[in-house]
């Protein structure tokens, strides 16, 4: 019955069976923290007879939540009744439940930063355009810190009296729409709990065990929410267990507060601490590099990971001339290994900024290397998608000013900015369709508005309040992480996709974007189709619509990550940030240049955060790890000479192999590729001269033992490989597969 405990090490077992007090688990990368949490859930249910319904586990990404839920259920079926969700999706759920108390519409949707900017510009018309995005950022940060417009500590986010006023105006306007922004998903539940004892008691009664994953990336508001939710100061008896790693804190810029970990024991009295340092993911050589890097950070709790898997291969540092060579190197090595049977899916290419993915995409496309981009797919930021979503959101909540402005005159119906303002001012905080119907406007505009309202009414009447239920006889809840119940597809039944299809047709979006496609050669129409298809599992009703919107708004990467996506054989292209919690057999960290990674101008705490990000990247690798660094890179449309990333200097010499031409800074006493007094005039012969260490994609590491010109003037080298073999090459044709190796 408890054989799943046998696979745990001592510390893991202690963590799983710990009870009665709050617990902080300091879990290094790859130390099996997901296993600990999921096992703990199973153990509590099975051995301690804790009601699964009273267990709450929160994570930061939907992917992590899904995985956790799956694994917990695999250990104990009843874990299906537990709430395992992302922080934000839990918050959204809470707010729908207590919408009145929180002061929002039951049918709210979530505004992103663009939408926030629209609200700001309408709430403070005098504000110069340029300052809007700064204010938006500041407001977001304030909410992450748990601050309201009347808080005394607004200077924490660099806010003064003027900002307090701006924040207040924004809040007022936002509340009039009934919608929420991202920060509200945490802040409003916190405030609601704090100010409402009855709800608070309900929650304390409801949740007996609360677990939080990746606690190092929680912000102040989340910490405050956790305190209220658990009732730690009210003797609720709720058990709180958080798991985190201060070395992997990478979201300071959006309000994450490492001090939440450091101060956990003060906020939650009587906390016990358990450390997990046994690493089951990476080989020792990889962990050694990771440790070299992160030990340069001050202000860490400090721990050194111990590999359970043995020594392994040294990481490889590759110097390349340009970013095109970088892309080519990655393509080559992946293709070479693929020919030897290594699946594409074992590889991940990591980069600092999303913009860097472009080169890989185009090259891989041409080379027919299958790839999948994880994360900011930008899909939902596309114009046509935002249009369609605005329509859907507006049907859900007709107080949504931002959506209204977006769609009322698209395609053009003669309702310009002036008319829009009139309608919104008249109907602020009310149903904008009613307001629009009752207002007097110029002839052209009023005809347009009438048309718009007609479309709205037609669409609105398509949506029943509740799904017409045909009973499903499942004993366990089918709840999904983001919300509820995407059902099995029933061909005979209308789904939300049918609604969205109607939206695209009735509103003229299809027509409008079809025309755009012809002019600009874009694919907007098929994007709309893709959006439609993604709604097929949602039931045709208001609840289904809200769930669908939540799934979009609370997880930008959900589309394009089809169910079977993980099973397909593809190289992963991913930002370093997005790799949190993931692992790959072979990892290439690209763009290891000063200015790219770390980004230019990062100093002090910010530089330390970049370093932790590097640490996160390194510790994703199970077996093989590569760093690539270019001498030249196109940035801002200009070609720049680059210096190697300072982080590379933090790796101990000898703890990694070097390929390619080392920059001057890397040519120490042990350097080898710097014989400038060669007698050869042929640059190829000069590069591949006798004695040079090389690396070949198929044959591995070796040394050139002879180099001669043939009768036809071709330069031939003989290479003896580490493995014992000897081969002849024509370097002229091997520039990408036969690389000069350094130290």
Partner DNA sequence: CAATTCGGGATCTGC
Partner DNA sequence: TCCCGAATTG
Stretch that binds DNA, among 262-270, 326-334, 492-500, 570-578 (CB under 7 A): 570-578
Among residue numbers 305 through 334, which ones bind DNA (CB under 7 A)?
A: none
Among residue numbers 48 through 67, which ones bind DNA (CB under 7 A)?
A: 60-61
The C-alpha atoms of residue 519 and residue 523 are separated, in whole angstroms, by 11
Q: Work out whether 254 is an interface residue with DNA (CB under 7 A).
A: yes
The neighbour count for residue 562, using CB atoms within 10 Å, is 12
Q: In terms of Cα–Cα distance, which of 416, 506, 516 is closest to 460?
A: 506
Q: In terms of Cα–Cα distance, which of 240, 219, 217 is closest to 229?
A: 240
Among residue numbers 126 through 155, which ones bind DNA (CB under 7 A)?
A: 129, 140
31 is catalytic: no
Stretch that binds DNA, among 410-418, 452-460, 488-496, 733-741 (CB under 7 A): 410-418
The C-alpha atoms of residue 703 and residue 670 are separated, in whole angstroms, by 16
Q: Work out whether 93 is an interface residue with DNA (CB under 7 A).
A: no
102: Cβ contacts below 8 Å, ≥ 6 apart: 95, 188, 189, 191, 192
Q: Work out whether 90 is an interface residue with DNA (CB under 7 A).
A: no
Among residue numbers 585 through 604, which ones bind DNA (CB under 7 A)?
A: 599
The neighbour count for residue 304, using CB atoms within 10 Å, is 13
Helix (H) or strand (E) holding 329: helix 323-339
Helix (H) or strand (E) holding 211: strand 209-212
Applying CB under 7 A, which of residues 111, 182, 207, 288 lies at the interface with DNA?
182
Shortest reach from residue 656's CB to DNA, in Å: 25
Applying CB under 7 A, which of residues 69, 200, 577, 687 lies at the interface with DNA?
577
Question: Tell me, what DSSP letter sits at residue 540?
Answer: S
The C-alpha atoms of residue 150 and residue 154 are separated, in whole angstroms, by 8
- Rounded to 5°, angle at Cα 334 from 331 and 340: 140
The C-alpha atoms of residue 695 and residue 721 are separated, in whole angstroms, by 9
The C-alpha atoms of residue 283 and residue 280 are separated, in whole angstroms, by 8
Size of the site for DNA (CB under 7 A): 41
CA atoms within 13 A on the CB side of 168: 10
Shortest reach from residue 538's CB to DNA, in Å: 20
Shortest reach from residue 416's CB to DNA, in Å: 2
Q: 719: which strand partners?
A: 704, 727
Q: In terms of Cα–Cα distance, which of 489, 496, 491, 472 is closest to 547?
A: 496
Nearer to DNA, 87 or 94 (CB): 87
Nearer to DNA, 254 or 309 (CB): 254
Orientation angle between helical segments 509-520 and 496-506, nearest 10 degrees: 70
Q: Are 385 and 531 in contact (CB under 8 A)?
A: yes
From 143, 620, 633, 657, the catalytic residue: 620
Q: Work out whether 617 is an interface residue with DNA (CB under 7 A).
A: no
Task: Give the contact letters, 186-225, x = binds to DNA (CB under 7 A), - = no.
Answer: ----------------------------------------
From 115, 144, 184, 213, the catalytic residue: 213
213 is catalytic: yes
Shortest reach from residue 509's CB to DNA, in Å: 15
322 is catalytic: no
The C-alpha atoms of residue 230 and residue 238 are separated, in whole angstroms, by 6
Stretch that binds DNA, among 239-247, 315-323, 549-557, 619-627 (CB under 7 A): 549-557
Stretch that binds DNA, among 317-325, 340-348, 465-473, 571-579 (CB under 7 A): 571-579
Nearer to DNA, 209 or 449 (CB): 449
602 is catalytic: no
Applying CB under 7 A, which of residues 196, 267, 354, 643 lies at the interface with DNA?
354
Backbone region of residue 485 per phi and psi (left: phi > 0; alpha: psi in -120 to 50; beta: other values)? left
657 φ/ψ angles, rounded to the nearest 5 degrees: -95, 155
Q: Work out whether 575 is an interface residue with DNA (CB under 7 A).
A: yes
Question: Tell me, what DSSP letter sits at residue 256?
Answer: B
Beta pairing class for 738-740 and 693-696: antiparallel
34 is catalytic: yes
3-state SS class at 507: coil
Shortest reach from residue 183's CB to DNA, in Å: 7
Nearer to DNA, 434 or 639 (CB): 639
Applying CB under 7 A, which of residues 87, 163, 239, 344 lies at the interface with DNA?
87
The C-alpha atoms of residue 620 and residue 464 are separated, in whole angstroms, by 47
Among residue numbers 506 through 545, which ones bind DNA (CB under 7 A)?
A: none
Q: In terms of Cα–Cα distance, which of 490, 509, 492, 493 is closest to 501?
A: 509
Among residue numbers 635 through 694, which ones bind DNA (CB under 7 A)?
A: 635-637
3-state SS class at 158: coil
Residue pointed to by tokens 């617990």: 23
From 76, 115, 184, 214, the catalytic residue: 214
Q: Work out whether 445 is an interface residue with DNA (CB under 7 A).
A: yes
Q: Work out whether 554 is an interface residue with DNA (CB under 7 A).
A: yes
The C-alpha atoms of residue 535 and residue 551 are separated, in whole angstroms, by 10
Stretch that binds DNA, among 98-106, 197-205, 397-405, 630-638 (CB under 7 A): 630-638
Q: Work out whether 86 is an interface residue with DNA (CB under 7 A).
A: yes
Stretch that binds DNA, among 86-94, 331-339, 565-573, 718-726 (CB under 7 A): 86-94
Shortest reach from residue 250's CB to DNA, in Å: 7
Cα distances (angstroms) measured from residue 274 to each of 17, 212, 244, 343, 623? 12, 15, 11, 37, 27
Applying CB under 7 A, which of residues 195, 353, 438, 526 lies at the interface with DNA?
353
SS3 content of the chain, % helix, strand, coil (to 5): 50, 15, 35
Nearer to DNA, 416 or 646 (CB): 416
33 is catalytic: yes
Nearer to DNA, 167 or 319 (CB): 167
- What is the binding site for DNA (CB under 7 A)? 60-61, 86-88, 112-113, 129, 140, 182, 251, 253-254, 352-355, 375-376, 409, 412, 414-419, 444-445, 554-557, 575, 577-578, 599, 606, 635-637
Tell me the catalytic residues.
33-34, 213-214, 248, 620
């Amino acid at each position: 019955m408890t054989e799943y405990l046998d696979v745990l090490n001592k510390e893991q077992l202690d963590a799983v069976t710990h009870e009665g007090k709050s617990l902080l688990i300091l879990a290094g990368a790859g130390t099996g923290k997901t296993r600990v949490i999921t096992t703990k859930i199973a153990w509590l249910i099975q051995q301690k007879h804790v009601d699964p319904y009273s267990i709450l586990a929160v994570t930061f990404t939907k992917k992590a939540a899904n995985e956790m839920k799956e694994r917990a259920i695999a250990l104990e079926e009843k874990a299906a009744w537990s709430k395992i969700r992302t922080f934000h999706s839990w918050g959204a759920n809470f707010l729908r439940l207590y919408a009145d108390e929180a002061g929002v519409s039951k049918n709210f949707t979530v505004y992103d930063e663009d939408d926030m900017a629209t609200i700001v510009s309408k709430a403070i018309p005098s504000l110069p355009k340029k300052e809007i995005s700064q204010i938006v950022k500041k407001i977001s940060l304030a909410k992450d810190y748990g601050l309201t417009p009347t808080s005394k500590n607004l200077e924490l986010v660099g806010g003064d009296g003027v900002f307090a006023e701006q924040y207040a105006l924004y809040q007022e306007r936002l509340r009039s729409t009934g919608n929420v922004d991202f920060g509200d998903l945490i802040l409003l539940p916190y405030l609601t709990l704090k100010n409402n004892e009855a709800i608070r008691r309900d929650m304390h009664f409801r949740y007996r065990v609360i677990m939080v994953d990746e606690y190092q990336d929680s912000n102040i508001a989340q910490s405050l929410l956790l305190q209220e939710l658990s009732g730690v100061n009210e003797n609720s008896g709720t058990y709180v267990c958080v798991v985190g790693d201060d070395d992997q804190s990478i979201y300071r810029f959006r309000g994450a507060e490492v001090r939440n970990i450091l101060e956990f024991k003060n906020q939650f009295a009587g906390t016990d601490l358990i450390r997990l340092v046994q690493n089951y993911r990476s080989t020792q050589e990889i962990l050694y590099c990771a440790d070299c890097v992160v030990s340069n950070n001050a202000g860490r709790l400090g721990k050194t990971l111990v590999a359970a898997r043995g020594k392994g291969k040294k990481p490889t540092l590759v110097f390349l001339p340009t970013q095109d060579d970088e892309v080519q190197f990655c393509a080559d090595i992946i293709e070479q290994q693929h020919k030897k049977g290594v699946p594409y899916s074992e590889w991940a290419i990591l980069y600092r900024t999303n913009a860097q993915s472009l080169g890989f995409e185009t090259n891989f496309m041409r080379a027919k290397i299958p790839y999948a981009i994880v994360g900011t797919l930008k899909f939902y930021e596309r114009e046509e998608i935002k249009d369609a979503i605005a329509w859907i959101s507006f049907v859900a909540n007709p107080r949504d000013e931002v959506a209204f402005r977006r769609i009322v005159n698209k395609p053009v119906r003669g309702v310009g900015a002036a008319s829009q303002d009139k309608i919104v001012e008249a109907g602020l905080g009310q149903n904008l369709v009613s307001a629009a119907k009752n207002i007097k406007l110029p002839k052209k505009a009023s005809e347009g508005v009438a048309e718009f309202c007609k479309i709205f009414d037609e669409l609105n009447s398509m949506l029943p309040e509740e799904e017409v239920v045909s009973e499903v006889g499942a004993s366990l809840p089918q709840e999904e992480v983001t919300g509820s119940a995407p059902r099995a597809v029933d061909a005979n039944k209308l789904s939300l996709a049918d609604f969205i299809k109607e939206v695209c047709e009735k509103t003229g979006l299809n027509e409008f974007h079809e025309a755009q496609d012809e002019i600009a050669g874009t694919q907007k129409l098929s994007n709309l189709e893709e959006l439609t298809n993604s709604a097929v599992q949602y039931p045709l009703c208001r609840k289904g619509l809200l769930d669908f919107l939540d799934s979009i708004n609370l997880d930008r990467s959900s589309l394009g990550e089809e169910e079977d996506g993980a099973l397909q054989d593809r190289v992963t292209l991913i930002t370093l940030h997005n790799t949190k919690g993931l692992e790959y057999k072979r990892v290439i960290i690209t763009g290891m240049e000063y200015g790219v990674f770390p980004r230019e101008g990062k100093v002090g705490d910010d530089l330390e955060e970049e370093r932790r990000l590097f640490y996160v990247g390194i510790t994703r690798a199970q077996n093989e790890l590569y760093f690539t660094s270019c001498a030249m890179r196109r940035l801002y449309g200009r070609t720049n000479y680059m210096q190697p990333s300072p982080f590379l200097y933090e790796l101990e010499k000898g703890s990694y192999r070097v390929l390619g031409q080392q920059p001057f800074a890397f040519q120490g006493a042990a350097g080898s590729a710097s014989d400038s007094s060669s007698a050869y005039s042929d640059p190829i012969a000069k590069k591949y001269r006798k004695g040079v260490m090389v690396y070949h994609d198929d044959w591995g590491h070796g040394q050139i033992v002879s180099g001669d010109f043939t009768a036809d003037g071709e330069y031939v080298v003989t290479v003896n490989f580490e493995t014992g073999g000897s081969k002849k090459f024509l370097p002229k044709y091997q520039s990408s597969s036969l690389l000069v190796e350094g130290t």
